[in-house]
Structure 1
Amino acid sequence: MDRPKEPCRVLIIGSLSQSLVNFRGSLLQSLKREGHEVFAAAPWDDSAADIAVRLGKWDIPFLPVCLSRSGTNPVSDWHALQALKRLLRKVSPDVLISYTAKPVIYGGIAAASIGGIRFFPMITGLGYAFTEGGGAKRRMLRAVVQALYRRSLAGAEAVFFQNPDDERLFCDLGLVPERVRSVRVHGSGVDLQAFSPVPLEAAPVFLMLSRLVTDKGVREYVEAARLVKGRFPDAVFRLGGGLDPNPAGVKAAELREWVDSGVVEYLGDVQPVQPTLAGCRCYVLPSYREGTPRSVLEALATGRPVITTDAPGCRETVVHGQNGFLVQPRDAYALAEAMIRLLEEPDSEVERMALASLALARDKYDVHKVNARLLEVMGL
């Protein structure tokens, strides 16, 4: 696609204000460097005031939008759609980029209703509705979400996916029309300057950073920690991330039990994450499904062996036995065995894995390479 001759007005919409800087900051700055007028939108949450200031320093206006990241209330979602229509009319963008489920679904529907907007959705993970299990309620939700995706993506110029499994699933379900281009990229990338290699922690410290929801494998992490501590009582298991209103969220009472029993050290919502990553020997993410897990990319760039699942989005980040280990999702015993295997490896082997993680981050997940591909496809 030829680069446009004139600068464009570009609007990017996410479901968390913090993600605009943490996950898309480099992309926003790349768009500015190319001469485009850039706007960023997300709900007004606890981080929004700070994010607005940070975006302002890049000369990017922050526009709050009424949009609930979680929840399935159709009345709330109708109001979100109307709010997005008002936002699009106000900004009048040439290009709309949206990521995460509701900005993709309702942003696409809103853009199609107005017309004249080039739409580029990013499928950064499938979330609660697409995770296996959950009974009739989740199956019904999945059917509704699929219908909404089908309507939204019909108006896209290209759809970005972060792993081959999600891309294949959407195409097989007919959610991406044949006339719409499907493009795979290596996640949102990782800033190799912000996340630089740090010498390995000598102590047996494992770390998991994620939202505290079932589908991230947080309960398997805690159960595996119990099993490992039975053989290696000095092993330390740290858990960072906030409680989540998601229907599959861990409840505060359960978290307190984990901490009170001494199985895990709870760090709360960790920001910035670099010092916490530097303090671990191995990073763990036993998620059931991801787009491409950003926390794993940051661990790779820090130079940490990774234990994650042989599941969509996760399996691409680890070459089994090279920079860490892959285990089956939902299997605390297999996870514990992988942790024990790493504890029993000689220091030289763990160091080799750490270097392999760093090499993978540099070769595949450099944020500048990822963003260059995005801009190329969008013609920006």
Structure 2
Amino acid sequence: MHLLLLASYAPSLINFRGPLIRDLRAAGHRVSVGAPDISADLRARLEAMGAEVHETPLRRTGTGILADLRYGRALYRLMRRIRPDIVLTYTIKPNIWGAFAAHQAGVPSVAMVTGLGYAFTDAGAASLRQRLVRGVARRLYRAATNRNARVIFQNPDDRDDFLAAGCLADPAKIGMVDGSGVDMAHYARAPLPDAPVFLMIARLLRNKGVREYAEASLRVMQLHPQARCLLVGPFDEGPDGIARADLDRWVAGGLAYLGPLDDVRPVLAQARIYVLPSYREGTPRSVLEAMAMGRAVITTDAPGCRETIRDGQEGFLVPVRDEAGLRRAMEKMIVAPEAAAAMADAAHARARERYDVQITNRKMMQLMGLCDDAQGTVSSVS
């Protein structure tokens, strides 16, 4: 079959969907991909994997309806031209406009909800404009999912909140997977360093918990001079982005900002503990990568995050927005290195048992009707 995979952020096609593309190609399926701002290097890497690459004109962080309508129209024209048998989308704009375009083109579509994000987070503290944007997003999601053949979620909280918000009328369309999975061979286990080095990898957004991590890190490094705290990730120009002035202040206080990295494995190998104090996720891929490489994890007791580890076994769960609680968990890892090492062992075992990408991709292909449980033969999703 011919699958069209639509993304809002081109590098995610390699970073998050690369193993799925490879497995689909290995199973004999034709794969086309679409995203905005595809660099020449990324295009070459995707084509080397056997994917057919298409530029799609999307403003990822904007809220302008005219630009989104143009994006939807471009997707419809692409589908009419390349004629896929099925469309798979992820993140909010491809999910919504991809569903509309596929329905218009007469192609079954599957949406993967990798996180509810801005349209569902902090509704109580939002401005009038933000509340209006969220209301529109939810109505659009409901209209889009009416046109989907299936809607796949990565954790039960997202599924339940999505249903409660009225974004999906037919629960029979729901499929569940444990995140996007992690390539256990690519993220091979690495020896733990002796020094207490903490690491966070994320886009620089408030709802990722970057502020809490940075402030807790400054205090931890004051109290424990042997500790180092690293931050990796790109700036985000969206409404939730971290201000550069804040980052400059944190760096002046000792936080090591390494910017965005194409390959995070070397910096994960430098770290002893991985930290992600996010407000909510689908299933955080960076946590799975850290677990695969044998790192204990500190994350939040929040949707998506709380499913990855068990508190006190693979790491610690802390309350959302709780800088003091995060700092105390970081200090526990410093003063009890043997316990932290045991948590690292448990994290690696849990990644292998539950989050191996081969398990996840097999489930994804089954949910899309690209294979069945028994012989792996092609069936239909519609």
Settle same-fold status: TM greater than 0.5. Answer: yes
**8 Å CA contact retained: 2:218, 2:253:** no
One-letter amino acid of the structure 2 residue matched with residue 361 of structure 1: A
1:65 alignment partner, one of 33, 43, 56: 56
Length, aligned pairs only? 368
User: Does structure 1 residue 146 correspond to structure 2 residue 170?
Assistant: no
2:19 corresponds to which of 20, 26, 31: 26
2:364 matches 1:371: no
1:156-200: per-residue Cα shift (whole Å, max 9, x none)? 111110010000111222322226420110100000000011111
Cα distance, 1:136 vs structure 2 = 2.1
Could you tell me how far apart the structure 2 residues matched to 1:49 and 1:16 are? Answer: 15
TM-score, normalised with respect to structure 1:
0.95
Deviation at 1:302, TM superposition (A): 0.4
- Equivalent residue number for residue 229 of structure 2: 237
Query: What stretches of structure 2 of length at least 5 have no aligned partner?
Result: 371-382
- The answer to whether 1:354 aligns with 2:344 is yes
Which of 142, 145, 148 in structure 2 is aligned with 1:156? 148
- Measure how far apart 1:231 and its partner are: 1.6
Specify the code of the residue in structure 1 equivalent to 2:131.
Answer: R
**Quick check: 1:186 aligned with 2:178?**
yes
Q: What amino acid does structure 1 have at the position aligned with 2:183?
A: D
Q: Deviations over 1:249-304 (max 9, x none)?
A: 01222211211222x00001012100000000100000001000100000000000
Q: Distance in 2 between matches of 1:165 and 1:222?
A: 27
Q: Does 1:199 align with 2:191?
A: yes
Corresponding position: 1:336 with 2:336: no
Structure 1 residue runs without a partner (length 5+): 1-7
Match of 1:320 in 2: 311
Q: What secondary structure sits across from 2:11 in the alignment? A: helix
Identical aligned pairs, as a percentage? Answer: 45
The residue aligned with 1:302 is: 293
The answer to whether the Cα contact below 8 Å between 1:285 and 1:308 also exists between their aligned partners in 2 is: yes
Task: Give the CA deviation at 1:34.
Answer: 1.7
> What one-letter code is carried by the residue in structure 2 that aligns with 1:247?
P
**Root mean square deviation, CA, Å:** 1.2
Partner residue in 2 for 1:120: 110
Counterparts of residues 66-145 of structure 1 (less than 5 Å): 66-115=57-106, 117-132=107-122, 133-145=125-137
Deviation at 1:135, TM superposition (A): 2.7
SS at match of 1:325: strand
Amino acid at match of 1:358: H
Establish whether residue 286 from structure 1 lines up as the match of residue 268 from structure 2.
no
- Give runs of ≥4 in structure 1 deviating > 6 Å: none
Q: 1:80·1:106 contact (CA, 8 Å) conserved in 2?
A: yes
Query: In 2, are the aligned partners of 1:157 and 1:180 still within 8 Å (CA)?
Result: no
Matched, 1:43 2:36: yes
Counterpart contact for 2:215–2:250, Cα < 8 Å: no
Take 2:257 and 2:222, find their aligned partners in 1: how far apart are those partners? 19
* Post-superposition offset of 1:322: 0.3
SS in 2 for 1:71: coil
Question: What secondary structure sits across from 1:315 in the alignment?
Answer: coil
SS at match of 2:174: strand
**1:18 alignment partner AA:** P
In 1, the alpha carbon distance for the partners of 2:257 and 2:165 equals 40
Contact 2:62 2:238 in 1 (8 A): yes
TM-score by length of 2: 0.94
1:3 alignment partner in structure 2: none
The answer as to whether partners of 1:228 and 1:339 remain within 8 angstroms in 2 is yes
